[in-house]
Amino acid sequence: SLVLVTGASGFIAAHAVGAFLDEGYPVRGTVRSQDKGEYLAKLFAGKKAKFEYAIVKDIAEDGAFDEAVKGVDAVAHMASPYHFEADEPDELFVPAVNGTVGVLNSLKKNNPNISRIVITSSVAAVINSDIKPPHHFDEKDWNTISIPACEKLGRGATGVDKYRASKTLAEKAFWKWIEDNKPSFDGVTVLGPIIHQVDSPDSLNTSVANFYSWMTGKHKQEELPAQGGNWIDVRDCALAHVRALEVPDATGRFICSNGPFSGNDFCLTLNRLYPDLPNIPKGDASQRDKLISEAYFFDGGKCAKVLGIKYTPLEKCLGDMARCLKEKFGP
């Protein structure tokens, strides 16, 4: 059965495409340009199942996915802007919401009998930052802060709130559409917090760029512990997308998270594996448990249980990511 992966050129989506192909599912990936499509075609040439691409220049446009959805059996919708640099909130809201509703409308029009769609939301749509850490979040929780903040402050809202509101609006629009249209397919949201390990970037995506700035000595010991949030290995997140489409009981929201981490973990791992890297703060191993007990905790238990994901340990994830970045870009 053919799987459509939107935004296939992205950091997580490229891994998800690889995971689908490894499991034997042929994939059609949407990309913004022929250049990005050809890059992926080359990357996946040796895989078990066949990869093809379709060009969707802007997910925000009406009917953007009308052609791409034809003949597919399931959809993983992953394209959405992920950065904190927007001026007007609508720069993020419009592609996030229209992209999500657009892919659903295209399915309704041209391919209403598919079995399942999974959209990549984010813990951005779960977190409530007015609750101070430590706090435990799970799939019942929704971000109720960022949309009002953007409504009140407009372009004066923080970049983080603009991004978080865009993901909340997109996910709410998704569940509302499912409720209003009662389609034959059901919906699954995979939520991935901080993602590590980079596969093939020309320019680094937001989450990996953060790690790389530590690795290249841009931060100081005084900045530690530098709370990072929760994290998940991108390969586990990719596999969760495969399982979300595959496992019959997988419905509703899924938080894909392996718990809290901090900049302290980056430094400890980098110092252990690459003691020659210049200007890496030393870190403090004795602080680890304390930091974790004081942080937000996003509960990835449902994802492990229902989707059968065995979470990769942090040391392995960071080590693999550091090696990959070092090989590609140095130092």
CA pseudo-torsion sign 311, 316, 319, 320: negative
For the chain, percent helix, then strand, then coil, each to nearest 5? 45, 15, 40
Phi, psi of 238 (to 5 degrees): -60, -45
Burial of 184 (0-12, 13-18, 19+ CB in 10 A): exposed
- Asked if residue 193 binds ligand NDP (CB under 6 A), the reply is yes
Q: State how far the Cα of 284 lies from the Cα of 204, in Å rounded to an integer.
A: 28
* HSE (side-chain half, CA atoms, 13 Å) at 102: 23
Tell whether residue 78 is a contact of ligand NDP (CB under 6 A): yes
CA atoms of 238 and 317, how far apart (whole Å): 14
Give the CB-nearest residue to ligand NDP. 10
Among 3, 4, 5, 9, binds ligand NDP (CB under 6 A): 9
Closer of 113 and 203 to ligand NDP (Cβ) = 203
At its nearest, how many Å lie between ligand NDP and the CB of residue 150? 16
Task: Determine the Cα–Cα distance for residues 249 and 47; give it in Å rounded to an integer.
Answer: 28
Q: Is 194 in the site for ligand NDP (CB under 6 A)?
A: yes
Between 80 and 168, name the residue whose CB sits nearer to ligand NDP.
80
Per CB under 6 A, the segment of 8-16, 108-116, 148-156, 299-307 that binds ligand NDP is 8-16
Does 304 engage in binding with ligand NDP (CB under 6 A)? Answer: no
Nearer to ligand NDP, 33 or 221 (CB): 33
Give the C-alpha separation, 309 to 239, whole Å.
8
199 SS3 class = coil
Smallest gap, in angstroms, from Cβ of residue 2 to ligand NDP? Answer: 19
Residues 79-108 within binding reach of ligand NDP (CB under 6 A) = 79-82, 95
Q: Which of 10, 29, 37, 260 binds ligand NDP (CB under 6 A)?
A: 10
Task: Decide if residue 270 touches ligand NDP (CB under 6 A).
Answer: no
Nearest distance from C-beta of residue 194 to ligand NDP, angstroms: 5
3-class DSSP state for residue 31?
strand
Instruction: Indicate the angle between helix axes 146-153 and 159-181, nearest 10 degrees.
Output: 120
Q: Where are the beta strands (DSSP E) in 101-175?
A: 116-120, 135-137
Q: Site for ligand NDP (CB under 6 A): which residue of 7, 89, 228, 263? A: 7
Nearer to ligand NDP by Cβ, of 90 and 284: the residue is 90
Binding track, positions 130-169, relative to ligand NDP; x by CB under 6 A? -------------------------------------x--
Choices 191-199, 213-221, 260-268, 274-282 (CB under 6 A): range interacting with ligand NDP: 191-199
Distances in Å between the Cα of 146 and the Cα atoms of 79, 85, 120, 128 are: 21, 15, 18, 8
Sketch the per residue contact string, 27 through 66, with ligand NDP: x for CB under 6 A, - otherwise.
Answer: -----x---x---------------------xxx------
User: Quick check: 260 binds ligand NDP (CB under 6 A)?
Assistant: no
Name which of 204, 192, 205 is nearest 233 in CA terms.
Answer: 192
Where do contacts with ligand NDP occur on this chain (CB under 6 A)? 7, 9-13, 32, 36, 58-60, 78-82, 95, 120, 122, 167, 192-195, 205, 207
